[in-house]
Amino acid sequence: MGVVVLAMLGSLAVLAVAGPLWWGHAADRPDPSAVLQGPTGRHPLGTDHLGRDLLARLLASTWPSLLPAVAATLLGAAAGITLGALTAVVGGRARRLLGAFVNLLLAFPALLIAMFFAALFGAGARGAVFALAVACAPGFARLTQTLAAGVAGTDFMVAARVLGLRRHRLLLRHVLPHVAEPLLLNVTVAVGSALVVLSGLSFLGLGAQSPSYDWGLLLSQGLERVYTEPLPAVAPGIAIVYAGVAFQLLGEVLAKTATRHAAPRHAEEPAPPPAPAGRRPASPDHVLEVEDLRVALPAGDRTIRPVRGVSLALRRGEMVGLVGESGSGKSLTALALADLLPDGARATWNAHWFLGADVGSLTRGERHRQLATGMAMVFQNPASAFNPALRIETQLTEAVRAHHGTPRDQAVEQALVQLRRVALPGERRLLRSRPFQLSGGQRQRVAIAAASMLRPDLVIADEPTTALDVTVQRQIMDLLRRLRRDDATAILFISHDIALVADTCDRVLVMYGGTIVESLPARRLADGARHPYTRMLVASVLDLTADRDGTPPTVEGPPPDAAGTDPGCPFLDRCPQRMDRCAVEGPVPTLLAPGHEVACWRPLPLAAPPGQPETEEAET
């Protein structure tokens, strides 16, 4: 197809350049003796009303026909794509405004807009070009908006936001390359349509003005006598179709090759990754502290409160598990901590400290930078956490390049070091790969390598092993453990898999109905849990040491009210221990033993060894 396109476009280019030189003179020479002739040996397409040779005019007008169509399409596409792509990276209100503006423009038919602006700008080729650009921009904006919307909520965009990339970088690196293929196709196809519209404008007397002429004008002149001499009208029509098909095929060829050259090449010199300096938590121990974190979300005509007063703290090098059934608010808690809540969601807190900085008092830019360099996220689905259009190299290196100004060569070498750390062989070949060329396990290892690139103080891993098989799960857990051991990185490990959490974490936070109902050392989970929900959760997993199939644990009974307005305990309806007080007063977390807190008015007694009565004192 490439060869065919090359031949077609080459012939058009030759005609465009050589046409005026070779046939320009014949095209403009009137011949009163040969007015309005049909096709003859001397004039294969006949002559016009001044006796000028129509074939010469057709060939000589290649350039003035193609140039305005290409120029109008490029101008319109540039304006429309910029407008549409902005919607993927701006905030909620600006996005709605931009959307409304595009809708307004689209409310008018493109041809009407083109005619209106052509009349406004004045009849002539230049006016027609601008008019057509204005007319086709909204279509490109809508297309880009739709394509970009598909990208905006993806994990790789969230991941890129976690890295704190600026809007223009998000736009250029992640949104545009991802939507480039259909856009390129549409731009080139639109050149063909632009040719037709320009012909229409010329036909209406709003395009090329005599004595200049283009295929559109020749077509309209030919149409006047199409019933007696069809060739003078058919020939410019064929020229328009030929050029249109050439551009359409060009679109397809370009679309196939567009994403192959997105990433730069890397250099050879190895260099150790420098550790970022100058970040110190206020308490040397705590990386993150949050108190009474709440998240409210609009859901239809009401507001839901999926997170209702979460307090937690993570020490340097500590691995803390966050467990709870589906919908308990684990992911929203993580997203609120990373300042990545979806549009419309609102987070509030009493205190929120990250690396010694009061997050609430930072400016937006400072907050993004602090979170981007100090925190990394590993998502559940490694397939969607990467931008499929970009090479692994680009995705691994862009954060250090953006935040630390690391030169590309050095960033690439850091990426190689990180890939070796996560035990991925053939790391140079891997850097040149695209995400779809890797297996699920490889992708998750690359995700951990990417998370380690900035040497973050905290990694939030949101169900990083759920989509993987058991063997790969173990390898990924080993990597997370190594990350925490080697770099003293704190890890918040979100999972349904309480057996895995009990096995790998230091502490476990049990979430229910948007609150943390119990916090205890992981080794105490099997026999030391005191909250009825934790006990039921543990009981729902038959054996904490058994092999896991990734099925989330289930607890019988209705889930808590999503609105979160009931005053009592969220576990009330499912609790076998409930008392009258539980319905009217939410339980406050109470310290039962060092490192063990329970939010329950009537915590269960400790499970006793077989043959002995249950006791409350054993632990304390």
Ligand X SMILES: Nc1ncnc2c1ncn2[C@@H]1O[C@H](COP(=O)(O)OP(=O)(O)OP(=O)(O)O)[C@@H](O)[C@H]1O
- By beta-carbon proximity to ligand X, the closer residue of 380 and 387 is 380
Contact (Cβ atoms closer than 8 angstroms) between residue 103 and residue 83: no
What part of residues 467-506 is at the interface with ligand X (CB under 6 A)? Answer: 496
Among 37, 73, 331, 384, binds ligand X (CB under 6 A): 331
Q: Residue 613, preceding bond cis, omega within 30 degrees?
A: no
Contact between 328 and ligand X per CB under 6 A: yes
- The span from the CA of 466 to the CA of 440, in Å, is 11
Minimum gap (Å) between residue 339 Cβ and ligand X: 15
332 near ligand X, judged by CB under 6 A: yes
Segment contacting ligand X by CB under 6 A, of 94-102, 182-190, 326-334, 446-454: 326-334
d(CA 603, CA 519): 13
Q: Is 327 in the site for ligand X (CB under 6 A)?
A: yes
Residues 250 and 188: beta-carbon distance below 8 Å:
yes
Shortest distance in whole angstroms from residue 327 CB to ligand X? 4
User: Quick one: which segment of 20-28, 320-328, 443-451, 564-572 binds ligand X (CB under 6 A)?
Assistant: 320-328
**Location of structure tokens 């038919």:** 109
Residue 578 token pair? 């409930």
- 3-state SS, 460-493, equals EEECCCCCCCHHHHHHHHHHHHHHHHHHCCEEEE
- Nearest 5°: CA angle at 302, between 296 and 303? 5
CB of 173 to ligand X, least distance (A): 25
Phi, psi at residue 252, to the nearest 5°? -70, -40
Pairing of β 319-323 and β 507-512: parallel
Q: Which is nearer to ligand X, 186 or 331 (CB)?
A: 331
Q: Using the minimum distance from each CB to ligand X, give the nearer residue, 173 or 330.
A: 330
Q: Which two tokens stand for residue 570?
A: 């969220």
> Rg for the chain (alpha carbons), in Å?
33
How many Å apart are CA 4 and CA 12, to the nearest integer? Answer: 12
Q: Which is nearer to ligand X, 399 or 447 (CB)?
A: 447
Alpha-carbon gap, residue 345 to 481, rounded angstroms: 32
Nearest approach, Cβ of residue 594 and ligand X (Å): 28
The reply to whether 195 sits near ligand X by the rule CB under 6 A is: no
Contacts of 514 (CB under 8 A, 6+ apart): 295, 305, 306, 307, 308, 309, 310, 328, 329, 560, 564, 570
Minimum gap (Å) between residue 161 Cβ and ligand X: 15
- Residue 604 in 3-state DSSP? coil
The Cα–Cα gap between 105 and 141 comes to 10
Query: Using CA atoms, how far apart are residues 61 and 58, in angstroms rounded to an integer?
Result: 5
Q: Check residue 186 for interaction with ligand X (CB under 6 A).
A: no
Stretch that binds ligand X, among 129-137, 156-164, 319-327, 520-528 (CB under 6 A): 319-327
Backbone φ/ψ region at 438: left (φ over 0), alpha (ψ -120 to 50), beta: beta
- Part in contact with ligand X (CB under 6 A); list of ranges 57-65, 252-260, 328-336, 403-411: 328-336
Nearer to ligand X, 23 or 379 (CB): 379
Residue 556 CB neighbours (<10 A): 7
Nearest distance from C-beta of residue 149 to ligand X, angstroms: 15
Residues 286-305 that bind ligand X (CB under 6 A): 297, 299
Q: Which is nearer to ligand X, 303 or 437 (CB)?
A: 303
Instruction: Verify binding: residue 563, ligand X, rule CB under 6 A.
Output: no
Options 146, 212, 283, 326; binder of ligand X; rule CB under 6 A: 326
Residue 77 vs 525, nearer CB to ligand X: 525
Does position 342 interact with ligand X (CB under 6 A)? The reply is yes
Determine the Cα–Cα distance for residues 5 and 82; give it in Å rounded to an integer: 28
Task: Closer to ligand X by CB, 496 or 535: give it.
Answer: 496
Q: What whole-number distance in Å separates Cα of residue 286 and Cα of residue 490?
A: 9
Shortest CB 220 distance to ligand X, Å: 55
| Of the residues 324, 441, 464, 528, which one makes contact with ligand X according to CB under 6 A | 324
Phi, psi of 363 (to 5 degrees): -70, 165
User: Minimum CB separation from ligand X for residue 297, in Å?
Assistant: 5
Residue 501: CB minimum distance to ligand X, A: 13
For the CB of residue 332, give the shortest distance to ligand X in the complex, in Å.
Answer: 3
Q: Does the protein bind ligand X through residue 306 (CB under 6 A)?
A: yes
Closer CB to ligand X, residue 20 or residue 553? 553
Compute how many residues bind ligand X; rule: CB under 6 A: 14
Nearer to ligand X, 40 or 326 (CB): 326
Closer Cβ to ligand X, 247 or 493, answer by number: 493
CB of 493 to ligand X, least distance (A): 13
We find the least distance from the C-beta atom of residue 462 to ligand X, in angstroms, to be 7
Q: Which own/partner pairs from 10-13 qualify as long-range (CB within 8 Å, at least 24 positions apart)? A: 12/62, 12/66, 12/242, 12/243, 12/246
Piece in contact with ligand X (CB under 6 A), picked from 8-16, 330-338, 367-375, 411-419: 330-338
Give the position of tokens 């551009």: 247
**Cβ nearer to ligand X, comparing 240 with 323:** 323
Site for ligand X in 218-237 (CB under 6 A): none
Positions touching ligand X (CB under 6 A) are 297, 299, 306, 324, 326-332, 342, 496, 562
